[in-house]
Structure 1
Amino acid sequence: MPSANLTMIAPLEHCRSCGRPIVWARTPNRKAMPLDPEPTPRGNLVVSLTSEVLHAAMVSGPDRDGLRAAHKPLYLSHFTTCPHADTWRTKR
């Protein structure tokens, strides 16, 4: 998968729990979501930049497989990799 570090297009911050680098994106529901800035073969989020706002949308199944086959970078929510993610999750 090609390198497409998101810190080139979005401000880098650090997770307040684990200290790892993150960038913020907006979901289709306009919620803020922290992302790991490096693409990963395990990724399930496609990102785009619109009007200087980073957007992230989940992809799965054939859509995800097609993007992977095309060597498009996919990312993970930092909630997936942060050892302290449960501390930050909102109750539904």
Structure 2
Amino acid sequence: MSNWEEFKKSLNFMSDIEKQAIEETAKAVNGCVVLRKQLGITQVQLAEITGLSQPVIARVESGKVLPEYKTVMKILLALQHIQSIREQAAAESLQHV
């Protein structure tokens, strides 16, 4: 998260609320990265699912850009959907045992 922290420090002209919004965005992005890796999904696969390009996902994950809210939500919702499908499939397989 050092890129986000460095970026945030460089924004002296912004209010504390705006800086906090950037920090919350960074936390959401970091959560997406963790979840993507836990699910074993590559950036390429996530790009196919979300309709975003892999380079966009890479830039978002690296903290080199401040993504729009809708971009973060598109990634997060796609990952949560995949997680939900997998959990449902696992629960159904336990019922058939």
* TM-score w.r.t. length of structure 1: 0.29
Could you say which structure has the higher helix fraction? 2
Could you say which structure has the higher strand fraction? 1
Q: If you compute each CA radius of gyration, which structure gives the higher value, 1 or 2?
A: 2
* TM-score w.r.t. length of structure 2: 0.28
